[in-house]
Amino acid sequence: MLAYYLSLIVLVPILSFIILVIFGKRWGDKSAYVSIAAVLISLGLSIKALIDVLGGLNTKVLFTWASIGNFHITFGLLLDSLSAMMLVVVALVSALVQIFSIGYMHGDKRYGWFYACLSMFTASMLLLVFAPNYVQMYVAWEGVGVFSYLLIGFWFEKRSASQAAKKAFMVTRVGDLGFAIALILLYINAGTLDMDKLFAMHFVPALAATISILMFFGAIGKSAQFPLHVWLPDAMEGPTPVSALIHAATMVAAGVYLVARSYPLFEKGPVSLEFVAIIGTITAFMAATIALTATDIKKVLAYSTISQLGYMMMGLGVGAFAAGAFHLFTHAFFKALLFLGAGSVIHAVHSQEIFEMGGLWKKMKITSITFIIGGLALAGVPPFAGFWSKDEIILGAYTSGHTAIFWIGILTALFTAFYTFRLIFVVFFGQPRADHHGGHVHESPAVMSIPLLILGFFALTAGLLGSPFVHNAFQGFIAPGHEAEAVNPFVMGLSIAVALIGITAAWLKYGTQVLPSNVISKNNPIYKLVANKYYMDEFYYYVLIIPTHAVARFILEFDQKVIDGIVNGVAKIIAVFGSGMRRLQTGYVQNYALFMLVGLIILIIWSFRFLGIH
């Protein structure tokens, strides 16, 4: 019974995918209901699973998938507190995103295909969450990658969209290579890829650290950590609901989930956790600074996602495992909310440039209110969701003695508050900047605003689950061994203070005209560095792409000149031989007769000489 309903969580969206691939084109707009029904079933079953887990269930259902000699690849459903939590988050966000998409994608010509991809994307992520061994995790991991590729490049007629999809796929592939090497090393050294067995084994710390860091490369790719974060902003080319799904629950969460799931392995090689913390910190800080200068609403949110993922990694790295997982949980809600809100805004004004918006507060009340809730959660203002989890992480850094990481985390929190409210003040307040579409702006339909309200509710309340008021219930649930730190008034106060300072600064700069508009010159080298995203794309372009092209061109030349030359040479030799031999076939009967005579002479001589006929 248990196995049935757990497998249905994954199988129903897969079934929906199959149905929609076949009938999606014919059913058009109606295909949405198939996919939404499927994901709602998944959600219901996930909630049941979560309730079971809360009731003390902790189980693993295994099927043998393939047996090669002694190597059994099992396929299973691992249900524990972490996976149950993720199941609910993934299914809930996916359900809301899909409902939202009814309105957002209305009239798109590949509607059925869109929902098919969403179904399978969700199914892949659910499968990944369920994975009790690394083989299944890797398969699902790649499934997530493939469907993110398809969804980012959904509007593939746009060249930038297909380029972005390719970039996302290629960049995450770099990380996946590390993941694959880690799995190979694990199998060589441990002989198994089952998580239970691996976590129970004893590893040399250096080996464990090597494997963990390689595995973390996979997470760097998928969760867009420095230096492989470059794909995520470009992935904004996809439809906005897809961005919401990628950013909130599925794609980028996979990396964090991998680290969280493999946490016992990371702990065996503590160096790797330091590495995770440092990468997370760099990512969080860098992405926050870039977000300060971005002017595209989705890009700002994309960099904020990278920054928040950096926080999660930071939390996991400094040992605040529960805090990292908690931030993953809360972030899923408020980031999905922000993206869907952004989608609603884009849907209304048909632009992504924040300085073409403004004054939307008056026209889009629901969107504005929910967006501000999301913004407050992101900025880390109590009692909104983001505050509790972010505070936990910073507290973790503080108590574990990572002073530098702590201060950078605080600074990042300041930036986060600033850029979030810069966005809010520019988009929702002030005067409409571009008048030409001002008259048409109106609130989005109910299918779009209701998901916003639901997410708004969670963004407001989800954090309370892990707050000191309920004795950090969430952390106790997820990680019984990693109890939350006691409340530290200094850290909490600092955290609230920087959030408020950031909001105030944004208000002074963008909400009023108190601060002059040219506080920072556009020609300031630091500004230019940040505005150009630290020249990471350019760095990759010159360091990787140009040499790759050069090598490829060289290989092309080599192939065309040398390999083809050899092949053509062989063919030419045979052709020359053939055209030489062709002359024997003159077509003149007398010529043939002459050769018959020659052959006869040779036969006679041969028969006398060698056969001894006398």
Partner 1 sequence: MNDIATYIIFFGLSTMAILSAIAIVTRRNLFHAAMFLGFLMLVVAGFYFLLDADLVGMMQVFVYVGGVIVVLLFGIMLTSQMTNVRMVSAMKQKGFTFLAVTGFVALLISVFTKVNLSVSTATAPKDTTSLVGKLFMTNYILPFEVMSVLLLAALIGAIVIARQEVKQ
Partner 2 sequence: MVIPLSWYLIVSAILFGIGLIGVLLRQNAVTILFSVEIMLNAANINLVAFSRYITPSAISGQMFALFVMAIAASEVAVGLAIVLTIYRNIQSVDIDKINIFKW
Query: Looking at beta carbons only, is 70 or 579 nearer to partner 2?
Result: 579
Contact in structure between 409 and 397 (CB atoms under 8 Å):
yes
Contact in structure between 548 and 555 (CB atoms under 8 Å):
no
Give the range of 465-473, 493-501, 508-516, 601-609 binding partner 1 by CB under 8 A.
Answer: 601-609
Kindly state whether residue 606 participates in binding partner 1, applying the rule CB under 8 A. no
Residue 535: other Cβ atoms inside 10 A: 12
Quote the least distance from Cβ 604 to partner 1, whole Å. 6
Kindly state whether residue 594 participates in binding partner 1, applying the rule CB under 8 A. yes
Binding partner selected for residue 170 from partner 2, partner 1, none, CB under the kind-specific 5 to 8 Å limit: none
Quote the least distance from Cβ 576 to partner 1, whole Å. 22
Q: Which amino acid is at 600?
A: L
Q: Which long-range contacts (CB under 8 A, 24 or more apart) does 541-547 make?
A: none
Quote the least distance from Cβ 595 to partner 1, whole Å. 9
Give the range of 205-213, 293-301, 331-339, 585-593 binding partner 2 by CB under 8 A.
Answer: 585-593
Residue 25: other Cβ atoms inside 10 A: 15
Query: Looking at beta carbons only, is 436 or 614 nearer to partner 1?
Result: 614
Question: Token pair of 311, please?
Answer: 């926080």
Quote the least distance from Cβ 613 to partner 2, whole Å. 17
Instruction: Report the distance separating Cα 182 and Cα 27, nearest Å.
Output: 44
Query: What CA–CA distances, in Å, run from 555 to 148, 326, 560, 563, 567?
Result: 31, 49, 8, 10, 16
Instruction: Tell me the number of residues near partner 2 by CB under 8 A.
Output: 10
Instruction: Report the distance separating Cα 259 and Cα 328, nearest Å.
Output: 12
Query: Counting every residue, how long is the chain?
Result: 614
Binding partner selected for residue 600 from partner 1, partner 2, none, CB under the kind-specific 5 to 8 Å limit: partner 1
The DSSP element (H or E) to which 455 belongs, if any, is helix 446-461
Q: Which residues in the 569-588 window bind partner 1 by CB under 8 A?
A: 586, 588
Which residue in 404, 543, 574, 600 binds partner 1 (CB under 8 A)?
600
Query: Looking at beta carbons only, is 520 or 596 nearer to partner 1?
Result: 596
Site string for partner 2, 565-584 (x = CB under 8 A): -----------------x--
Instruction: Report the distance separating Cα 96 and Cα 333, nearest Å.
Output: 10
Kindly state whether residue 497 participates in binding partner 1, applying the rule CB under 8 A. no
Query: Looking at beta carbons only, is 51 or 593 nearer to partner 2?
Result: 593
The DSSP element (H or E) to which 94 belongs, if any, is helix 81-104
Site string for partner 1, 437-456 (x = CB under 8 A): --------------------
Which residue in 593, 602, 603, 604 binds partner 2 (CB under 8 A)?
593
What's the N-to-C CA distance of the chain in angstroms?
A: 97
Contact in structure between 64 and 75 (CB atoms under 8 Å):
yes
Which residue in 355, 541, 554, 608 binds partner 1 (CB under 8 A)?
608
Kindly state whether residue 550 participates in binding partner 1, applying the rule CB under 8 A. no
* Exposure letters 542-560 (e unless 16+ CB within 10 A, then b): eeeeeeeeeeeeeeeeeee
Quote the least distance from Cβ 589 to partner 1, whole Å. 10
Which residue in 589, 610, 611, 612 binds partner 2 (CB under 8 A)?
589
Q: Which residues contact 353 (CB under 8 A, 6 or more apart)?
A: 295, 296, 297
Residues forming contacts to partner 1 in the complex (CB under 8 A) are 586, 588, 590-591, 594, 597-598, 600-601, 604-605, 608, 614
Residues forming contacts to partner 2 in the complex (CB under 8 A) are 582, 585-590, 593-594, 597
